[in-house]
Structure 1
Amino acid sequence: MRSLRVKRILITGMSGTGKTSVIEELSRRGFTAIDTDSDEWCEWTVGHEVGSETSEPDWVWREDRMWHLLSEPREAPLFVSGCKTNQGKFYDRFDHVVLLSALPEVMLERIKGRTNNPYGKSAEERDRILQHVRFVEPLLRHRATLELDTSALTVAEVADRLLALTTRNAQG
């Protein structure tokens, strides 16, 4: 008989793919579900692009807090959502890295209608989101253990698929 262990699942993806909605749904269902897009979990730093002399502010995970969160013993699954440039440092702490994706027009429509986050309202921010879809999303896809296209899935369906990952044993 194979042993079961508690799963830690990272939910990542571009703006407008449903990360916040699904993390709220998982929390509503009683699971430990953390949206890292806050001052509690992130901080502004000046990042340096490889091969470039320019630097821009970057909203990254507070590494000490993330290490602590992912090292704590758990009796129930942990769901963490976010998309940060330093998240790759923590991939080995997660059992699954789930990429939420959506058609660009679906993402932009969701962003236009959301009231809980002002990001993506300006033309410049929407252009940046589309650039991230072209250049960042493929990097996330490469490291993901599962991709869910949320274009036609409800939040409840995405949550159900994430929960299904927690019921599989550690070997399978």
Structure 2
Amino acid sequence: MTRILITGMSGAGKTTVLRELSRRGHRTIDTDHDGWVLPDGTWDETRMSALLEMHMPLFVSGTVENQGAFYDRFSAVVLLSAPAEILIERVSLRANNSYGRSTADQAEILQFILDVEPLLRGGATLELDGRRPVSELADELERLIRVSP
């Protein structure tokens, strides 16, 4: 079954596009919530393995250190990206998550853009511009569900 991972930096639009996909009736998991991420910042491998063994189309979002260990279980790994100034603006304004409001958080995000985003780009099968309208991003992600084996 088709499983799509949506990854990217904080503020790239992962939660927003996941919310739209859920609104359209798709099964979605935002690993930033509900205990998917362990205190060490990695996915709970047992729980993630069990999820990915389920036979249903699924969109998963998250960015964690051990996500690469699961890439072979996804039909596609989609990197949402946006320029640093857009990411910082978005995280400083969002109401659903306090991460990114402090100058220390923002400095960390800027460092992650330099250190982590290239790794995500290297593992991605597709990169989408997170500045695009959410409906367009969701349309493109739905196309992946329809064409993947």
Report sequence identity in percent: 54
| 1:145 alignment partner in structure 2 | 125
Q: CA RMSD in A?
A: 1.0
User: What residue identity is the alignment partner of 1:72?
Assistant: M
Q: TM-score, normalised by structure 1?
A: 0.84
Counterparts of 1:105-124 in structure 2, within 5 Å, are 105-124=85-104
Gaps of 5+ in 1: 1-5, 46-58
Q: Does 1:162 align with 2:144?
A: no
The structure 1 segments of at least 4 consecutive aligned residues displaced by more than 3 Å after TM superposition are: none
1:73 aligns with 2:55: yes
Residue 80 of structure 2: aligned partner: 100
1:27 has 2:22 as partner: yes
The structural deviation recorded for 1:169 is 4.4
Residue 132 (structure 1) shift = 0.5
CA distance in 1, matches of 2:111, 2:148: 38
Q: What TM-score do you get using the length of structure 2 for normalisation? A: 0.96
Aligned residues between the structures: 149
What are structure 2's unaligned runs of at least 5 residues? Answer: none
Give me the whole-angstrom Cα distance separating, in 2, the residues matched to 1:140 and 1:42. Answer: 18
Aligned residue type for 1:165: L
* Structure with the higher helix share, 1 or 2: 2
Higher Rg of the two aligned structures: 1
Q: Give the C-alpha shift of residue 39 in structure 1.
A: 3.9
